Amino acid sequence: MNESPLTIENLTFQYHRRFEPAIENITFSLQAGQVMLIAGSSGCGKTTLMRCINGLIPHTYQGAMSGSICLFGKSVTGMGLADISQTVGTLLQDPERQILGSYVLNEVAFGLESLGIPRDEITPRVEKALDRLGILHLRDRETFGTSGGEKQKIALAGVLAMEPKILLLDEPLASLDPASAQEALQAFRQLADEGIAVMIVEHRVEDVLSIHPDVFMYLDEGKMVYLGDTDGLMDVVDYRRIKLPARVVLERARQDPAPVFVPAAKSHSGEDAELLRFEGVHFQYNENDPEVLKGLNFSVNAGDVIAILGHNGSGKTTMVKHALGLLKPTKGRVLLEGHETRKMTVAQAAHTVGYVFQSPSQMLFAATVHEELSFGPKNLGFPVDTIDKNVNWAIDTVNLKSEMDMPPLALSFGQQKRISIAAILAMRSRILMMDEPTAGQDYWNYQAFMDAILQMPGFDAVIFITHDVDLAVIYANRILLVYSGEIVADGKPQEVLKDEKLLRSCRVLPTSLLKLNMEYLPRTGRFFRAETLAHIQS
């Protein structure tokens, strides 16, 4: 009799020192060749469920566990992490957190080395895993120098080389550009077709639907709300909490009132309208390295809400770091309110530009959220009453007022991300720049804070880097499309995003929302979210 690769019955787990179970009474089984998609908002228990399956719970994370987990009919109770790891391969959310080897060959070989496989067997198995994912050409490259998409595949190859029967993927698309995400998904589907049971935890539900998952599980507050096929999920899931295909949202949102969204930043003319200008900006990190930026020319004006789109490693982050003077051009110049950034300190530039870094753990340090949010305004020399006012406004914007006295580092990743955004909001700079503001955030939360930020008066311009095309569709009034250090398109979203061929050449893929907006464009004249389109007469 063929046993299911994975069978879970009444699984409940409560972390040590927590008062509520992280997951409760989870029961399901996963068959060979199936793709299972698990979705839910932040803190719903997705990652805990994965940890229970791959053995990190209870081996690394302690707590009270009940119920059973069986791999091919054999209970994992009493199995060592190494035994589990030979059956269950895990790809963590951020490949950077998983990669150990300094070179690709060594990284992919790591698990095989640990298992004591003879040396002459390791290299062929590594090459097979790399070839399976189409990255054999990276074999002798340094892992550090590879792009985000390549790192994802390298980490996956490291797991596949161990020939697991079950593959757990924890938000595998979070740091990938749209084309890389699609390639990764195709690779997961292919692995399932080859007989591996694949379990994907992902916020980007719509993307995963493109590979037709066989089973869908929806978790809410640690409980399994839905388990079944993907057709059924459209009826049970709240479209405001999980991002569903635009046409589904369009149909379901007709019954609800139309959302009200009025962006605050207003364009105006005059001497102070131009805030930032790049003039022939070239940049390379070292003189022997290739150029990262290749002659950028553009300006940012009051009223601009700019989305910067481009592939992993295209130079987007390097570009915005120039605006604040964190990097100086090797050729050309950057002017901030008419002053060259080369002649300013970063602290001076921070009065005009607020820059939210990608990872919150790189900046959070204070004992309380209030102190964290006061840090920037204090550095800029704001009076005490202004600081208090700004801090209160910022914390309201990210909807975390209840955590004001908590240490920021004790909050969840999603909350830390919002605190890092609030810390910059409190500085009330004229330009707000955000690097991947929605990465690792659930759909509900990121829409809520993007709505709040863009509707609050105070910023003359907002710039955000994103891989989420829908974020650009909904919020931007201008798009910069970047490819290999050059701006290949700069204009209104409806002008830039209509050229599908150009988008694909820049590894940006059209989404269902973009396609829907293109249909409605003759009537609307601009892009809207699906909920708004639902109330436009067809």
Q: Which residues bind other proteins (CB under 8 A)?
A: 54-56, 59-60, 80-82, 85-86, 90, 92, 96-100, 102-103, 105-106, 109-119, 122-123, 142-144, 158-159, 162, 321, 324, 326, 345-347, 350-351, 353-355, 357, 361-365, 375-376, 379-380, 409, 423-424, 427
Looking at the Cβ atoms of 303 and 325, the one nearer to other proteins is 325
Judged by CB, which is closer to other proteins: 90, or 512?
90
Tokens for 301, please give them. 């004006």
The answer for residues whose C-beta is within 8 angstroms of residue 336's C-beta and 6 or more apart is 275, 276, 323, 325, 344, 349, 352, 353
Q: How far is the CB of 415 from other proteins (least distance, A)?
A: 15
Look up residue 294 and give its two tokens. 């290749």
Nearer to other proteins, 57 or 496 (CB): 57
Closest distance to other proteins from the beta carbon of 389 (Å):
17
Task: Compute the least distance from the CB of residue 277 to other proteins, in Å.
Answer: 20
- Angle between helices 246-253 and 512-524 in degrees, nearest 10: 60
Q: Which of 286, 298, 358 is nearest to 323 (CA)?
A: 298
Asked whether the beta carbons of 513 and 526 are under 8 A apart, the reply is: no
In the complex, minimum distance from the CB of residue 124 to other proteins, in angstroms, rounded to a whole number: 12
Q: Minimum Å distance from CB 6 to other proteins?
A: 16
**Residue whose pair of structure tokens reads 């690394």 in the numeric block:** 60
Q: How far is the CB of 331 from other proteins (least distance, A)?
A: 21
First-to-last alpha carbon distance for the chain, in angstroms, is: 56
Half-sphere exposure of 25 (CA within 13 A, CB side): 5
Q: Which is nearer to other proteins, 164 or 310 (CB)?
A: 164
With respect to other proteins, which residue has the nearer C-beta, 61 or 444? 61
Q: Which is nearer to other proteins, 60 or 186 (CB)?
A: 60
Rg (alpha carbons) of the chain, rounded to whole number: 24
User: Helices marked H in 291-331 — which ranges?
Assistant: 316-323
Question: Between 59 and 523, whose beta carbon lies closer to other proteins?
Answer: 59
User: Cα dist. 4→74, 88, 166, 380, 439 in Å?
Assistant: 10, 13, 10, 60, 34
DSSP strand E in 229-268: where?
none
CB of 170 to other proteins, least distance (A): 11
CB of 536 to other proteins, least distance (A): 40
Residue closer to other proteins by CB (options 323, 496) is 323
Selection from 36, 50, 31, 89 nearest residue 211 by Cα: 36
**DSSP strand pairing (305-310 vs 461-465):** parallel
43-54 burial, b for 16+ CB within 10 Å, e for fewer?
bbbbbbbbbbbb
CA dist 13 and 76 (Å) reads 15
What is the β-pairing status of strands 478-483 and 486-491? Answer: antiparallel
Are 325 and 281 in contact by the 8 Å Cβ rule? The answer is no
- Nearest partner of 200 among 58, 75, 239, 192, judged by Cα: 192
How far apart are CB 525 and other proteins at their closest, in Å? 37
> Nearest distance from residue 200's CB to other proteins, in Å?
17
Nearest CA-CA partner of 397 in 448, 461, 458: 448
Closest to other proteins by CB, 69 or 534: 69
Helix, strand, or coil (residue 386): helix
CB of 105 to other proteins, least distance (A): 7
Instruction: Indicate the residue among 101 and 259 with the shorter CB distance to other proteins.
Output: 101
Closest CB to other proteins among 118 and 522? 118
State the maximum Cα–Cα separation within the chain, in Å, rounded to a whole number.
79
Query: Who contacts 280 (Cβ-Cβ below 8 Å, separation ≥6)?
Result: 295, 296, 297, 331, 332, 333
Residue 29 CB, nearest distance to other proteins (Å)? 23
Residue 231's CB: how many other CB atoms inside 10 A?
A: 8
C-beta of 158 vs 440, nearer to other proteins: 158
Toward other proteins, which CB reaches closer, 213 or 376? 376
Q: How far is the CB of 290 from other proteins (least distance, A)?
A: 15
